[in-house]
Amino acid sequence: MTMPEKKKLKVAILWHMHQPFYLHPDTKKFMMPWVRLHGLKDYLDMPLLAEKYNIKATFNLVPSLLDQIEMYGLGYTDRHMDLSRIPSRDLNTAEKKEILQTFFSAQYPTMIEPYTRYKQLYRKKESCANDIDLAAEIFSTSEWRDLQVWSNLVWIDPSFRDEYRLNSLFRKGRDFTEEEKHRLLDLEIDLLKKIIPTYQRLFAENKIDISFTPYYHPILPLLIDTDVAREAIAGIDLPDKRFCHPEDARWQIEKSCEKFYSLFGKNMAGMWPSEGSVSEDALKLINDAGIRWVATDEEILLQSKMQESSGKPSAFHAYEYNGALGTKIFFRDHGLSDRIGFIYAGWDAERAVSDFMHNLSLLRDRLKDNLDNCLIPIILDGENAWEYFPEDGNRFLSRFYEELATSEEFEVVSLTDAAETLLARSLKKLFAGSWINHNFRIWIGHSEDNMAWDMLSDARQALVDYQTRYPDADPEKMQKIWNQIYIAEGSDWCWWFGDEHIGTHNSDFDVLFRTHLSAVYKMLDMEIPSRLMQPIHGGKLESFVSLPESLITPKLDGLLTHYYEWSGAGSYDCLKAGGAMHRVDVYIKAIYFAFDHDSFYIRLDFDDDFDLVGLNNCRIVIDFKDIGLREILLEKVREKAGENMTFSYNRILEVKFDRKTLTGSGNGKIEFFASLYSGNEMMEKWPFDKPIAVELPEKDKEIFWQV
């Protein structure tokens, strides 16, 4: 007797591919190299890997990203590539300094440390970290060329190394020739030229699905009306000038649809709105464009249903908002998506995939009575996460896809197919928010964000006023000027304004945003407002790391005994350290570090919802560069001695080390990471790449730093 085929739970995987629009409107060069570098590392291998394992994933592409990829094929370059092309013997001092400051912009543990020569060059630069002039003098011509090669080579996905004979360069490792360097740089352009045709082929063969984001990645609800931010945060500070331009939001959507049709010959079926940002008015515009599905975060569903008394809503179904029937809404599984994006990088690939499949199985058991009409949407960044994984995530993704492809319990479907087959539940209200904390605080509310919105409003109004005065102005010229407005409406500028995200390129984004707005005035032959000449951040950006300012001796009781107990300590703000990726749920909020004459102290602050009960055998691991690991089993304890340390945990964790245990003399440099483990699995590691570093001065020299 033949057993009936087991019903499978549908799983949809959406990889979001996005970079800001980096083209400088005056120089016509890309100010930053990330489209090219991520093109080599992520945009081509990801769809090919899905094809290899017969996984019909959805790839959400930003139209302005595709524009930039096309432009590289037409001969456009970026500053990093231009510096790489210069013969190493011809580099001048300014170029050498720029190379030292930018050519190590890669994750140290996965993209620098594994490669002996690249690591040597990095350490040589770091040996003169406080003297860039000296560092620029001590590299030989051969070392400069090796650095030019390695800063490009590590970005090419490992899956291409055999096919394009790159393994010979990895084996050689050093003393590259100019010919080898230029051959590598030429190959990069060849690979970039393959990206769009690969998506076109796989989409035409129905092997992958493709969706788009609005053209320049704007936050649609804020374009429609910035006042919508008050729906999630009633008391939020808003810009002086209310921005209310649904016509701009409509343009961003319609131009995205046009780009899709021009590339793929079909109407666009689905959209991941920028940052999963939705509102009722935004969804109506999306619906007007004929788009059949959108996706956002499950927190939006929870907030949308908050006023109803029907219990917690299920995010594993399709929904339709009553005001925009015909466009189905999917809500990403927050926990599963973030496990891939933020947790599994530090795990063994086999164990990570096993954990993911186990969690999927638990969901299947919960939903077993309605499998036909359920879907698990896994939606996350398709590029930035992988540089934290060994081998660019290839081992994890291969095992992940293999398990899904051979599973008898799950089937991978595209979101377009799911929209066609799943019955939709009714949604009377759609809450206005993004995938990050179901609000828009990242992009509006901070004084810097609000200043940017006001600058945008002024430039847009100047353009509108000009067209009113000169209705017969050249339409082609006007469209070029409007494009500068639409570019400035992108979400990326305000991502880096404010205090939520700190990176090495904040000032570059600031300059580029103001350059686009300045171009509006220049192209209109108008005087550029003086405030567009000034940095939005108003000077030095606040950092997420600060160094100790005074000697302190905190009381080890696991509590913040009084307000000034840790005053003067150094700190590392985990909530601000996310950079291009934003993690909503963190366990460790902040790390403090300090010292007195005899001891070195570390304090960890945890999220308000941190619960030991939900984590198995919860441990904190402090990894010191020179003396190794120190483990602390988290349990409520007043004071306890461990290996060369004393610690106390209650609401916070406070740890004390003898200075001589750490450095021998009790003086010198200390470098450490802090990680949270559940059982044998790492849940978090701070910092991601380079350790926290602090210099312990000699006891008779109280040397502190102005930060």
Measured CA to CA in angstroms, residue 419 lies from 61, 269, 336, 478, 695 at distances of 19, 9, 21, 39, 57
pLDDT of residue 539: 46
Query: SS3 for 310?
Result: coil
At 705, give phi and psi (nearest 5°). -120, 145
- pLDDT for res 541: 42
What does each C-alpha distance from 582 to 18, 537, 573, 574, 642 come to in angstroms?
Answer: 14, 20, 13, 11, 34
Q: Domain 213-233+240-427's class?
A: alpha beta
* End-to-end Cα distance, the chain: 76
What letter would DSSP give residue 114?
Answer: T
Q: What share of the chain is helix, strand, coil (3-state, %, to 5)?
A: 45, 20, 40
Q: Using one digit for the tens of pLDDT, what is the confidence trace for 532-552?
A: 988 997 544 446 778 887 787
| CA distance linking residue 590 with residue 576, whole number of Å | 10
Q: Give the domain 447-533 fold.
A: immunoglobulin/albumin-binding domain-like (1.20.1430)
Task: Evaluate whether 253 touches 281 at the Cβ level (below 8 Å).
Answer: no
Q: CA–CA separation, 692 vs 600, rounded Å?
A: 13
* 3-state SS class at 403: helix
CB burial string 598-608: b at 16+ within 10 A, e below: ebbbbbbbbee
Distance CA 226, CA 453 (A): 9
507 — phi, psi (to 5°)? -65, -30
Kindly report the backbone phi and psi dihedral angles of residue 92, in degrees, each rounded to the nearest multiple of 5, phi listed first.
Answer: -90, 175
- For the chain, the structural domain boundaries read 19-204, 213-233+240-427, 447-533, 545-696
What backbone torsions phi and psi does residue 39 show, to the nearest 5 degrees?
Answer: -60, -40
| C-alpha radius of gyration, the chain, whole number | 26
pTM, 2 dp: 0.84
| 541 closest CA partner among 509, 574, 583 | 509
Q: Which fold has domain 545-696?
A: Immunoglobulin-like (2.60.40)
Please give the average pLDDT of every successive group of 10 residues along the chain, which has 707 residues: 75 98 94 97 98 99 99 98 98 94 93 97 89 89 98 97 92 98 98 99 99 98 98 96 98 99 98 98 98 97 81 90 94 95 92 96 94 96 94 97 97 98 95 95 95 98 98 96 98 88 80 95 94 75 69 83 76 71 71 88 84 68 75 61 74 86 81 83 77 78 40
Express as a percent the part of the chain with pLDDT over 90: 68
Q: What is the DSSP string of 188-213?
A: HHHHHHHHHHHHHHHHHTTSSEEEE-
Model pLDDT for residues 20-78, shown as the tens digit of each residue? 999 999 999 999 999 999 999 999 999 999 999 999 999 999 999 999 999 999 999 99
Provide the CB-side half-sphere exposure for 365 (13 A, CA). Answer: 6
Dist. CA 554–CA 602, nearest whole Å? 10
Give per-residue pLDDT as tens, 586-602. Answer: 788 889 998 888 888 99
CA dihedral 188→20→498→275, nearest 10 degrees, is -120
Separation in Å, CA 367 to CA 10, 354, 362, 376, 421:
11, 20, 9, 10, 17
